[in-house]
Chain A
Amino acid sequence: MEHSHAALATVHAVSYLRFIVLFPLLGVLFNIFAGPRVGRRAINLVSPGVVLLSFFFSFAALLQLPPGGALVDTVYTWITAGRLQVDFALRVDPLSATMILIVTGVGFLIHVYSTGYMAHDEDVARYFAYLNLFTASMLLLVLGDNLLLLFVGWEGVGLCSYLLIGFWYTDDEKASAGKKAFIVNRIGDAGFLLGIFLLFWSLGAKGVWTLSFAEIQTHAGLLAVETVTVICLLLFVGATGKSAQIPLYVWLPDAMAGPTPVSALIHAATMVTAGIYMIARLHFLYSMAPTALAVVAIVGALTAFFAATIALVQTDIKRVLAYSTVSQLGYMFLGLGVGAYSAGVFHLMTHAFFKALLFLGAGSVIHAMSDEQDIRRMGGLKTKMPITYGTFLVACLAIAGFPGLSGFFSKDLILEETVASPHGSVVLWLIGTLTAGLTAFYMFRLLFVTFWGETRAPHEVAHHIHESPTVMTMPLVLLAVLSFIGGYFTLVPFLAPVFGGHHPAHVSALVKYLPTVAGLAGIGLAYQMYVRDPAMAERVAQRYAAVYRLLLNKYYVDELYDRFVVQPVVAASQWLWRVWDTVIIDGTVNGTAQTVAANGLLLRLWQTGNVQVYALSFLLGAMVILGYYLW
């Protein structure tokens, strides 16, 4: 378990960090204005090119990073209002260095892949504009030197995911998936905002008016534990929204409506990891609030298990991977929740590699199967798409935690820390291990059903299945290599200056090896059910029909949300508008006007036209006045 207060890093002011964010933005401008006119070839060159440039600059920053220190590039003061002073400043320290390398590295590969994947889509300029904008926002998120800039990136990526999910906007269903993603994210962001406010004012109450990470870290001690707990929980709400944890994960499975490379980049490698990065960045707050950490761990573990169970029965290739991502994110939160911040970030990195690979592999399969996504109509692709199959196999082994590959190192590190760290507990470890088994099972189920056996695809689809072009397979291979060797770049020493020193956890052998055994068991079971005895899956499905249907319908969570959240809100607003606004408020307004007019009609009758009536009213008036005086 790291002790949280590392010595304050020595800071070097530099001025080139801004270009890391600027290059993708230039790409965006190029695509918007020059894109439609300049033709596909230029776009395919420029868009990945800008991301590559950012990658080189990030790498340069990594090299120039002083040991245990940080690079800060203050561009200009953004907002000054009263006591709030926010600068547009970028910071690179070991944590953000890892993140920008992942984002630009994996991002670049995915950009290259996309040029192939979107080869015959005519709206490619708009696609790459969004993709570049996403990269820029993600880089801003991880490079932001204060909480507000992080939030700017946070919402920026939310916007890009909305745009990219709804990229093929002509289909209503895809457009509403994008809308759903944005709104659920916005709910999370609302919590995030509240966290920022509470942090700002509680620090302010102590006379410290700031939002920048460094100052927060130095003055964190001033805050009461209860306030810090509430702050951490609020920020965690934002994290659940962005990183798709219970209860705000519902948008991720629907986000598969977007193009596959988008899912690979946004919904596997980078955006969904924003929540983890945020908690890692504010680790000093979370370690001050044990209850908050416990909540993070529990939610993480539960989500991991919950999502894994759903993934068991999904038939759409991308949905399986989506739930797998939710589950793996659960693992990362579990890691963070037990105080093993570097383990969590390490798993984040390895996950980025193999999950991106899985998605791109799935993309190339869908591409080959002329947009067929249901695995029950696939099969036997092993021979026809060797490279995709090979890389897919490596990724499956990695995610299943097969010893030697990256997944094994990062996942097991988390599970070990769950037991060893004071914040951890054996129950969480048990859930983690069980989920490891489930993960292995559904990954290899996917592998066997899609690649092994004979093709169940209809004839005209089957006969022109072919391996994807090199521009798509080359990223697959690279990612496979990364997934393979990723495990050996254990980030723990590299991240030590950020999270404080770390002494390796020594645990019993059982704890160390049981997860691997569970993984292998999962693979075996999958092999048995889908290769040795294909009918077995059917039999199991019949025997536990109720459970099967429950899992297939994703525990009916979407329907519940719709019934208990969306419908009541819409009904309430209909009522508010129809009844409250028009009848009650407008009614009173028009009512007063009518009553005055009614009195007018009444008074008008006073003019009967008869002189003597007038004389009478005259007399009455006179008598009243006289009466007043005689008393």
Chain B
Amino acid sequence: MTQIIASHASVWTIMLPFLSGVLCFMAGRRIGTLIGVVTAFILTILTLNLGVSVFQSGPSRYAIGGWSSPLGIDIHLDGLSVLMLGFTAIVGTCISMYAFGYFKDRKGLKKEKNKHYAKMGTYFWPLWFFAWGGLNVLFLSSDIFNIYVALEIVSFSAIALVALKGSVDALLSATRYFFLTLLGSLVYLFGVGFLYSAYGVLDLGLLETVIRPGMISTVAITLMTLGLIIKTALFPIHFWLPPAHANAPAPVSAILSGLVVMGSFYLLVRLWFETFTGVIMPVAGQLLGVLGAIAILGGALQALRQSRLKMMLAYSTVAQIGYMFLLFPLLAGNSIGQGFAWGGGIYFSISHACAKAAAFMVAGSIMYALGHDRIKDFRGLAQRFPIGVFAFALAGMSLMGLPPSGGFIGKWMLLKAAMLTGQWWYALLIVAGSILAACYIFRVLEITLKAANPGEKALHIPLRMQLSSLAMSFFAILLGLAATIPLEILKIDSPVFFQSMEGFIK
């Protein structure tokens, strides 16, 4: 384990969101919005800086309170955590810019309705920054109980954001989300309890050294995995996700589908492939793979049946979560494909965050202007809202996995891993899922490309919203063009077997 002391910059990336969340709450909407946008940019710069320093000097740890790990809590920085941190910052900045336009006073709206948006804007910023801060705590913490608290922060703020709209649908999906996510965290906490009573340490790095296969370890990892699966909304516990993601205001949908999902998935990956490597049985990985497979097909089929765009995107998230879980069976076997599986799974989750955030932003812009998101009424949208449809098409490319997008790289690596480990059925599944994804994306694009009815003018959407969704979708494509940089970062202190990937990266 590396013992280089990290700079205080890592603390700032965690604490700055909380600090500005508090300031946003104190300052009210107008100043709060400004604080929010400025913080988002500062955070991006900070995390990029942190990424560079990790890239140059390798992984590091930071002892909070000066008590290092068994007694206190450590922050650890390695390739995976810095990558997650960085993409949260990039996606988060785009979402912040988008929200900057979204919650502004709107022309042509009734005064009351505008007041509603103003109130939503007031509370959006503190809640969003607490979610962001919670995610940063989660990515950097190396203490399993500290991670529990971080998970609770993320879920509470996510639930409050879902309920922000105040409509019955929003309240209902927030309540359902709440019960499930709380169940998930309690089950996770039980797993933490088992681990601590068996080994007497909470630090991930120390646990890795003392953990032994056996009844207790199996029970603990099973409980923690169950809890995190509930939180990530893998099939069969996915039913809460679509209403929650679809009924929220657009920036919130982007946060949930893009970032919050990534948080619990990240933790699961870290637990499975760093801490519990010796404990996990291959059959468990296969089980998660089967669930993922059902999620891919079921989610995509459900997405095809939806008549509302946001609902369709939410079901698409269910399917894409399935792809992320293919990482587990592909990695469980000990062979040459593991590097591809590891890289592919992580890469897929990152590019999904970018693409899905972009798609939800466009869907939100359309709702903003049209007041609805019924797909069948999208006729002529390509003429009336060209930037949005273009951004949606780019994001769609990544969701389908067309080259040269980030989604393509992720899927390609997973495919390669499936072939190399001899599990060809997963390769078939990946292809089938992509075809289904193409169906639901092209269904939307086809309608928007039809000629507009005469007399319909261009949509009036604030430029900030248009540009931020466009930037987000460019990122989703850029991830495909410049795949080496994220993969190189991922390699730093990576737990698995990157040697086999050397050739691919170069």
A complexed with B = no
Give the interface of B toward A (CB within 8 A): none
